[in-house]
Structure 1
């Protein structure tokens, strides 16, 4: 069974939702049979791509018409939710363009290190307040997660490297009707939006598993029908002659 997760590195509910999904997956009886694939989704493809970026509190205030105090309170609410999942979270973060990190996640997928690199990017952004536009911070996180530094720098220097893979993920998200993230798709049959409780994911996985592994239903028939077993085959009773 395959679960695809569309997310963005600067999305706090993606960070929290991933933790909740993993708890839900751990409680699923057939977790070992589940393949998890992370896919790209940019919440703001026009976000600044140069070093620096915009403070999250400023971005929230501008985007939603909040006062600085309201923006701070909103971020604190998310921080509390993250803490409830055992996640480190700082409200003193900088928002920016995530396209390069998504490209590196596709490199990581090819190298079999996608989960490790995604976790490293989440920690850098949410726990350590490393701006996503910080090239050296991105390189450090990716290499610490197991990617080769030379290869990471080559991909960052070539804006076309893995660009089509990111765009393809985003086209698929649109085709599936995803307008926000996190967005979870199980076997291309069930879609789940948002950072749902862990129990919701466990139930969804169980439902999808039952669909693809139906239980055999034995129908009632005439009693006493002959059959063979390990002990041999039943011999029909002989009718008495005339």
Structure 2
């Protein structure tokens, strides 16, 4: 079974939602048969790469909040994160463009390191006070921490076109299926869950999606009735008369 998660490293609710989903997945009886894929979604795609602001300042400018309102919102997220066992710096974080992170995550997927790098980027952004924005060497450092070759990561980041099409494809697909905010979880391309829902919601969705998986109905035989097939032992060769 496949679960796709549209998310952004700059989204604090994605950080919390991921933890809640993983809590449900860890207790799911068929967890080893669940493939999790992270899809790209930029919350602030139009922001220039060098336009990096303190997170609270961004909230006041983008959403018209007062400083007190922005701080109260961030402290609420902090308490939600703590309840999930996550580290979260309620102040002192930056906000910026995440396109390069998404490109690097697509590269990491090819290295079977996408999940690990996603975790490391979240931790760096929310639990550490050193910015991850507009700093390629910082991203290389984080990639190396999960086992990705430094020179390979540096090469990807130095080429603005590398994996750019993959990021844009994810974002187009998000628009096509109606994603307007993240995190957004899609199970078996049948069920969608929006937001950092409680773990119980994810448990229910996983159970329902798994239970509705339909085995293929064979037509014209199963391959064990003399029909010519290719299997683990190779391809059957018709006997000549």
The answer as to 2:207 corresponding to 1:206 is yes
Size of the aligned set, in residue pairs, is 213
Task: For 1:35-184, list aligned pairs within 5 A.
Answer: 35-50=35-50, 53-91=52-90, 92-131=92-131, 132-184=133-185
Deviation at 1:173, TM superposition (A): 0.5
Deviation at 1:56, TM superposition (A): 0.6
Deviation at 1:129, TM superposition (A): 2.9
Higher alpha-carbon deviation: 161-170 or 61-70 = 61-70
Q: Which residue of structure 2 aligns with residue 4 of structure 1? A: 4
Deviation at 1:96, TM superposition (A): 0.5
After superposition, the C-alpha distances for 1:53-73 in whole angstroms (9 at most, x for unaligned) are 111101111122111122111
After superposition, the C-alpha distances for 1:149-184 in whole angstroms (9 at most, x for unaligned) are 001110111000000000000011111100000000
Q: Evaluate the alpha carbon distance shift between residue 162 and residue 72 of structure 1 in structure 2; reply closer, same or farther with a 3 A threshold.
A: same
The answer as to 2:184 corresponding to 1:186 is no
Q: Which residue of structure 1 aligns with residue 226 of structure 2? A: none
Looking at structure 1, the residues matched to 211 and 170 of structure 2 have their Cα atoms a distance apart, in angstroms, of 28
Looking at structure 2, the residues matched to 161 and 208 of structure 1 have their Cα atoms a distance apart, in angstroms, of 35
Looking at structure 2, the residues matched to 40 and 185 of structure 1 have their Cα atoms a distance apart, in angstroms, of 13
> Helix, strand or coil for the counterpart of 2:192?
strand
Looking at structure 2, the residues matched to 12 and 94 of structure 1 have their Cα atoms a distance apart, in angstroms, of 12
After superposition, the C-alpha distances for 1:63-98 in whole angstroms (9 at most, x for unaligned) are 221111221111111111101100001122100000
Larger radius of gyration: 1
Higher alpha-carbon deviation: 123-132 or 171-180 = 123-132
Q: Which runs of 5+ in 2 are unaligned?
A: 216-241
Deviation at 1:213, TM superposition (A): 4.9
Misfit runs of 4+, over 4 Å: none
Looking at structure 1, the residues matched to 134 and 197 of structure 2 have their Cα atoms a distance apart, in angstroms, of 29
